[in-house]
């Protein structure tokens, strides 16, 4: 699976549940990944390739927001209401950091969450790579799936803006997290740029996961800064082109609106309409050099299925709203079924 954080987490939980239902863990295999997390035991081998473009250094620690959102959600320790961070979080350290003028006053580092950032940063300073750190963080909770950062290179996304705008204060770019959390994506983006992309390589295991997969799923995550960043790491798009597995995506747009977040601002910036079929066309059809073999849209967008099939996609409309684990699992099951139809 390719996934971003908040939007990706619900879908990944659904995939885990759908796999547990279809391919339950063998009862004699007590060591199966996820065997001790409720309802998640599956013999399926699920790898999630996680967007790292939202990552940043702040207050001396390395943050990997999408990785952490997936980690916390799959472990069941996430703040489901807010959508990011830990449940039962306190903010005592954040209040101190504001007093010291360290970090960003509009960006909250919760106390429990800071524990994760400190552990990660300590291991990075000891010489571990981000993917090795990711592996260590996952040992704490039995997730039932493997989370892999797309790359070990720091490819933090920056947003190009017009320096003459009042909020820009003369700057012609902002870190994605400042644009997203401070300005709620309201400053028109002129473009998105990932740092160090030319020298970036897929993290160990990423290419093998894609080329060795039976099915590749593209989560309903932000097509520009989440999925877009993953596939812009040199080698990942090529692995997707080469894999024998069908590649099936789920639209993050329902009835012309984003399901959550502000992906519409990102799509507008790159000239793509906020529309389920337009996102599919943006990803492109694999047989013509694009990413996808199949695409799921919501019932609201059922009218676009015929035109998507005309351009060579296997498409279907199903309920896309992930209200709870059951609806997420049903959606994941529909994506797996669509993959079978592409063969
Ligand atoms: N989102 C916010 O809207 N405000 C915050 O203060 C904030 C803090 C934060 C800290 C750690 C972390 O992992 C994520 C955090 N997020 C916060 C969420 C994050 O900015 C974004 O929603 C994602 O990167 C976009 O998927």
- Write the pLDDT tens digit of every residue in 47-79: 999 999 999 999 999 999 999 999 999 999 999
Give buried/exposed letters for 42-52 (b at 16+ CB in 10 A, else e): bbbebbbbbbb
Instruction: Note the pLDDT of residue 338.
Output: 98
Mean pLDDT on 281-293: 97
Residue 34 has pLDDT above 50, yes or no: no
Range 335-338 contact pairs with CB under 8 angstroms and sequence separation of 24 or more: 335/15, 335/217, 335/248, 335/250, 335/294, 335/296, 336/18, 336/22, 336/215, 336/217, 336/248, 338/248, 338/294, 338/296, 338/314
Instruction: Note the pLDDT of residue 134.
Output: 98
Give the residues across from 187 on adjacent strands: none
3-state SS assignment for residue 69: helix
Question: 292 with 286: CB under 8 angstroms?
Answer: yes
Nearest CA to ligand 1 atom 12: 65
- Residue 331 CA, ligand 1 centroid: distance in Å: 26
Mean pLDDT on 218-244: 98
Give the chain's mean pLDDT. Answer: 95
- Residue 177 CA, ligand 1 centroid: distance in Å: 7
| Closest C-alpha among 4, 102, 105, 114 to residue 59 | 102
Instruction: Note the pLDDT of residue 150.
Output: 98
Ligand 1 first shell, C-beta below 6 A: 4-6, 54, 63, 65-66, 68, 84-85, 107-109, 113, 177, 180-181
Mean pLDDT on 169-185: 96
Using CA atoms, how far apart are residues 7 and 219, in angstroms rounded to an integer? 8
| 6: confidence class by pLDDT, cuts 50, 70, 90 | confident
Residue 38 has pLDDT above 50, yes or no: no
Instruction: Note the pLDDT of residue 29.
Output: 56
Nearest CA to ligand 1 atom 5: 107
Residue 258 has pLDDT above 80, yes or no: yes
Mean pLDDT on 241-267: 95
Give CA separation, 208 vs 47, 272, 285, 286, in Å. 10, 31, 22, 19
If one residue of 84, 93, 103 were mutated to test the ligand 1 pocket, choosing by the most ligand atoms within 8 A of its CB, it would be: 84
Domains of the chain: 2-153+198-342 (3.40.50.10680), 157-194 (no CATH)
Structure tokens at 114: 């800071």
Q: Which atom of ligand 1 is nearest to the CA of 226?
A: 26
Query: Cα 34 vs. chain centroid, distance in angstroms?
Result: 20
Instruction: Note the pLDDT of residue 343.
Output: 78
Residue 36 has pLDDT above 50, yes or no: no
- Residue 240 CA, ligand 1 centroid: distance in Å: 29
Kindly give, in sequence order, each residue whose CB lies less than 8 Å from that of residue 38, ignoring residues fewer than 6 positions away. 76
Q: Which atom of ligand 1 is nearest to the CA of 222?
A: 26
Nearest CA to ligand 1 atom 1: 181
DSSP 42: B
- Residue 65 CA, ligand 1 centroid: distance in Å: 6
| 307: confidence class by pLDDT, cuts 50, 70, 90 | very high
- Residue 72 CA, ligand 1 centroid: distance in Å: 13
Q: Which atom of ligand 1 is nearest to the CA of 180?
A: 20
Mean pLDDT on 203-209: 98
| 28: confidence class by pLDDT, cuts 50, 70, 90 | low
Mean pLDDT on 262-291: 97
Kindly give, in sequence order, each residue whose CB lies less than 8 Å from that of residue 136, ignoring residues fewer than 6 positions away. 119, 123, 128
Residue 339 has pLDDT above 70, yes or no: yes
- Residue 246 CA, ligand 1 centroid: distance in Å: 32
pLDDT tens column, 121-169: 999 999 999 999 999 999 999 899 999 999 999 999 999 999 999 999 9
- Residue 181 CA, ligand 1 centroid: distance in Å: 7
If one residue of 8, 52, 65 were mutated to test the ligand 1 pocket, choosing by the most ligand atoms within 8 A of its CB, it would be: 65
Instruction: Note the pLDDT of residue 261.
Output: 84
Percent of the chain with pLDDT over 70: 96
Biggest distance spanned by C-alpha atoms of the chain: 65
- Residue 169 CA, ligand 1 centroid: distance in Å: 23
Nearest CA to ligand 1 atom 13: 65
- Residue 318 CA, ligand 1 centroid: distance in Å: 30
Question: 22 with 198: CB under 8 angstroms?
Answer: no
């Amino acid at each position: 699976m390719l996934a971003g954080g908040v939007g990706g987490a619900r879908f990944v939980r659904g995939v885990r549940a759908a796999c547990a239902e279809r391919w339950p863990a063998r009862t004699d295999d007590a060591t199966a990944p996820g065997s001790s997390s409720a309802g998640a035991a599956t013999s399926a081998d699920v790898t999630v390739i996680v967007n790292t473009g939202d990552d940043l250094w702040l207050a001396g620690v390395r943050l990997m927001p999408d990785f952490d959102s997936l980690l916390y959600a799959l472990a069941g320790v996430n703040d489901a209401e807010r959508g990011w961070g830990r449940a039962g979080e306190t903010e005592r350290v954040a209040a101190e950091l504001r007093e010291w003028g360290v970090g960003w006053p509009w960006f909250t580092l919760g106390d429990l969450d800071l524990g994760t950032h400190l552990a990660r940063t300590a291991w990075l300073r000891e010489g571990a790579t981000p993917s090795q750190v990711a592996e260590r963080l996952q040992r704490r909770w039995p997730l039932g799936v493997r989370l892999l950062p797309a790359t070990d290179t720091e490819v933090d996304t920056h947003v190009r803006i017009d320096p003459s705008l009042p909020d820009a204060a003369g700057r012609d770019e902002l870190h994605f997290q400042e644009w997203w959390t401070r300005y709620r994506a309201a400053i028109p983006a002129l473009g998105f740029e990932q740092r160090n992309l030319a020298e970036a390589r897929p993290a160990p295991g990423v290419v093998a996961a894609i080329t060795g997969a039976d099915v590749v799923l593209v989560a309903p995550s932000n097509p520009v800064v989440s999925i877009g960043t993953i596939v812009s790491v040199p080698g990942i798009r090529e692995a997707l082109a080469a894999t024998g597995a069908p590649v099936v995506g789920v639209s993050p747009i329902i009835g012309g609106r984003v399901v959550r977040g502000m992906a519409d601002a990102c799509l507008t910036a790159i000239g793509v309409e906020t529309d389920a079929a337009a996102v599919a066309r943006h990803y492109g059809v694999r047989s013509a050099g694009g990413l996808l073999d199949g695409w799921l849209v919501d019932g609201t967008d059922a009218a676009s299925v015929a035109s998507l099939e005309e351009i060579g996609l296997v498409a279907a409309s199903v309920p896309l709203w992930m209200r709870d684990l059951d609806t997420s699992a049903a959606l994941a099951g529909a994506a797996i079924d669509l993959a079978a139809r592409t063969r």
